[in-house]
Structure 1
């Protein structure tokens, strides 16, 4: 079956998630600009699995985080406009619209979770550089993985139920 293109407006929930993601993204950039001049020349550039800084680099490297987060957000926003190009396990004529909405919502949730995590990492990296924190925290990696994988599995389960 050729997957049809269907114009589905964004749900209110998707609009709210996008607004939250954009606020966090813009807020992290504004905060970075605000504190940038007062940061030391060397800042944490990488954290290990325990959330401890294990490599230090130039404070210019802090710009990599918002660039990656913003780039992923834009890419996933673009891709979510084409749910008819995604792979589905059980797409049928009677569930096409529901499957497309589920897939698009999954992309929306994931992209906003990612940009929020990148905002948090930017903030925490600045705090470590200023000496206010010691790292991301030991819970960061398990929480990040639980949120991203949990969301993915949730939407995959929904796809199978539809």
Structure 2
């Protein structure tokens, strides 16, 4: 069961990276020369740049995907909240892998949401983000805290 969840997260993460690239490539030609590149806490753009900036989030998503893949394939490079032993190695490795893939999923969703908002705002300044950008921060924080607590439970 555990490996099925990891495979599903791998597939979802890969599809999100592909979708972000596809969405960017499809929309790029239609973008105006200046697009929003930064937003304040209210979700209003406070900095604009050239439309080439549209490729930043897809490039970052690819880098994150490869980095997270490397980290989960090489657990000795991981940072575990408890000391690893022969008895707990397998469950701790599973917890770390699951959390890393889940965090990547959240980051990719954040990137996709930001890219969508950047593009929609470029065409219509009255647009709002589909999901408020600051909502991702507590979800990521809660996920990390849950992982640390779970690691201590199964030490």
TM-score (norm 2): 0.89
Query: Aligned in 2, Cα 1:74/1:134: closer, same or farther, shift over 3 Å?
Result: same
Q: Which residue of 1 aligns with 2:89?
A: 96
- Alpha carbons of structure 1 residues 58 and 135: separation in structure 2 relative to 1, 3 Å: farther
Shift of 1:85: 3.1
Q: Is the 8 A contact 2:38 2:45 kept in 1?
A: yes
Higher normalized helix content (fraction of residues): 2
Partner of 1:161: 153
| 137 and 120 in structure 1: CA distance in 2 versus 1, 3 angstrom threshold | closer
Which residue of 12, 19, 26 corresponds with 1:20? 12
Q: Confirm whether residue 116 of structure 1 aligns to residue 109 of structure 2.
A: yes
Residues 53-84 of structure 1 show CA distances to partners (whole Å, capped at 9, x for unaligned) of: 11111010010111112211110111111123
| In structure 2, distance between residues paired with 1:56 and 1:96 | 48
Per-residue CA deviation, residues 124-151 of structure 1 (Å, 9 max, x unaligned), is 111111117534378321x110121111
After superposition, give the CA deviation of every residue in 1:70-109 in whole Å (9 maximum; x if it has no partner): 2111101111111233233143332111011111111111
Deviations 1:37-63 (A, max 9, x none): 111111111111222111111010010
Assess, with a 3 A threshold, how the Cα gap between structure 1 residues 45 and 99 changes in structure 2: closer, same or farther.
same
Unaligned runs of 5+ in 1: 1-9
Partners of 1:52 and 1:135 lie apart in 2 by 9
User: 1-side partners of 2:19 and 2:76: how far apart?
Assistant: 33
SS in 1 for 2:73: coil
